Structure 1
Amino acid sequence: MTVTETGTGGTGTAGAPGTAAAGALHADAVRTLAGWRPADPAQEQLRRDYLQHLADRPDGLFRSCLPAHVTASAAVVDPAAGRVLLTLHPKVGLWLQMGGHCEPGDGDLAAAALREATEESGIPDLSLLALDGTPVPVKLDRHQVRCTGKDRPENTHLDVQYVAVAPPGSQALISEESLDLRWFDFDRLPELTDHSVRDLVARARELTG
């Protein structure tokens, strides 16, 4: 894998999936997942499940699609310092990678991940890991959340996860979406993380080491 720059796309509001741009984003997500070949059988099953979801739901990338929708995230890493940037999520109460919902203005799925990573990290010059010049996912994760409100039923995030490389010595800037934002050594992740974050960080370390 190599590192490539990817545009951050637009920042329109989620919930208007009938536009041509939203259709292009849906088509890109299908292409991205159809062309990705994970070695792990469990990841392969998730890939197939995601594709089936997109085949069934033209609006399948947006928050308005319930009970499940595709999201995009990225582990922001500084390989030179052996560290990863995590955000303390205000709703979940865990240290997580940067990420969130896709928006119709996003140019493609990778752009959605990079936009979220840039907004939440405050680091402007992130680069996504790529294969043959094209940013590619490194991992998929399906999990339950209450993104429609704490008093609403749980829904499912079908998260497509990337790795974003920060320039050496990058200084992060906390956003209003975080309770806290900190760099952690690869070997010293906080206790308040889940197995998905730890697996993603391990994968990022492997690919950038």
Structure 2
Amino acid sequence: MSDVRRPDDGDPIGPLLRAHRPAESFEAADLVRVRELVETEADPWARSLPLHLTASALVVHPPTRRVLLRWHTRHKAWMHVGGHGDPGETEPLDVALREAREETSLDDLRPWPDRSLLQVAVVPVPATPKEDAHEHADLRFVFATDEPDAAKPERPDAPVRWMSVAHARELTAEPNVRRALTLLEAVLHDVAGT
């Protein structure tokens, strides 16, 4: 373990995690693990750790209640956008926003309906020839766009697709992403009032 951090040391992650209310027991257990990671590691984003932070987002177009998913070749699944922090990045929302813009080409993304977390999920990542198996402590947000037709993939092998939340749940093979989509559906319902 690295130097232990105090919860009041100015880190943006601690207050974000303390404000988050897990939706179910799966998430509550993951939140405990992520809090421990953040409180005990000097750099919880370090990819050398067997459990390290990532940040991601579900991108929505609120007027049509559609969500944008990206094909992830490594996982062979439709998933949300996001990834690792770059060196020096410490603000989860900024990491998620940079990753979402890179992966969708949407320049107008903004936190929606606010800057809070949608979900905290610890996700197993299988080994590859280049890295050992590890886990991502993924901090998930919701971003909105007013220009859904401007979405473009960052690479030809990583297409993006707009779809209803129900269709997205059917297409993804990842249970944690299905749970995130269910949470998103509730947010869309609460904000739209339908």
TM-score range (shorter-chain normalised) is: 0.7 to 0.9
- Partner SS state of residue 63, structure 2: helix
TM-superposed deviation, 1:98: 0.2
Which of 57, 61, 69 lines up with 2:45 in the alignment?
61
Which of 149, 153, 167 lines up with 2:146 in the alignment?
167
What do residues 11-53 of structure 1 show as CA deviations (whole Å, max 9, x unaligned)? xxxxxxxxxxxxxx98111221123233534323322211111
Which of 165, 172, 177 lines up with 1:197 in the alignment?
177
Matched, 1:145 2:136: no
- Partner SS state of residue 103, structure 1: coil
- The residue aligned with 1:89 is 72
Task: Describe the shift of the 1:177–1:48 C-alpha distance in structure 2 as closer, same or farther (beyond 3 A).
Answer: farther
Which of 32, 35, 45 lines up with 1:48 in the alignment?
32
TM-superposed deviation, 1:151: 5.1
Task: Describe the shift of the 1:69–1:45 C-alpha distance in structure 2 as closer, same or farther (beyond 3 A).
Answer: same
Please give the TM-score of this superposition, normalised by the length of structure 2. 0.82
Structure 1: how far apart are the matches of 2:149 and 2:120? 27
Which of 103, 117, 120 lines up with 1:120 in the alignment?
103
Matched, 1:29 2:13: yes
- Partner SS state of residue 154, structure 2: coil
Task: Describe the shift of the 1:169–1:56 C-alpha distance in structure 2 as closer, same or farther (beyond 3 A).
Answer: closer
Whether the 8 Å contact between 1:123 and 1:170 is mirrored in structure 2 is no
Whether the 8 Å contact between 1:142 and 1:157 is mirrored in structure 2 is yes
Whether the 8 Å contact between 1:74 and 1:162 is mirrored in structure 2 is yes
Superposed CA RMSD in Å reads 2.3
Matched, 1:181 2:160: yes
Whether the 8 Å contact between 1:129 and 1:165 is mirrored in structure 2 is yes
Structure 2: how far apart are the matches of 1:178 and 1:197? 20
- Partner SS state of residue 171, structure 2: coil
Seq. identity, %: 26
Structure 2: how far apart are the matches of 1:59 and 1:177? 33
Instruction: Give the aligned residue type for 1:114.
Output: L
Whether the 8 Å contact between 1:72 and 1:161 is mirrored in structure 2 is yes
- Partner SS state of residue 156, structure 1: strand
- Partner SS state of residue 137, structure 1: coil
Structure 1 unaligned regions, length at least 5 = 1-24
Count matched residues. 180
Task: Describe the shift of the 1:151–1:62 C-alpha distance in structure 2 as closer, same or farther (beyond 3 A).
Answer: closer
Task: Describe the shift of the 1:108–1:89 C-alpha distance in structure 2 as closer, same or farther (beyond 3 A).
Answer: same
Structure ranking higher on relative contact order (CA contacts 8 Å, 6+ apart):
1
Task: Describe the shift of the 1:177–1:57 C-alpha distance in structure 2 as closer, same or farther (beyond 3 A).
Answer: farther
Whether the 8 Å contact between 1:120 and 1:177 is mirrored in structure 2 is no
Instruction: Give the aligned residue type for 2:102.
Output: E
- The residue aligned with 2:6 is none
Task: Describe the shift of the 1:50–1:123 C-alpha distance in structure 2 as closer, same or farther (beyond 3 A).
Answer: same
- The residue aligned with 1:104 is 87
- Partner SS state of residue 33, structure 2: helix
What do residues 99-130 of structure 1 show as CA deviations (whole Å, max 9, x unaligned)? 10012343611111111111111111011125
Task: Describe the shift of the 1:26–1:174 C-alpha distance in structure 2 as closer, same or farther (beyond 3 A).
Answer: farther
Structure 2: how far apart are the matches of 1:107 and 1:60? 9
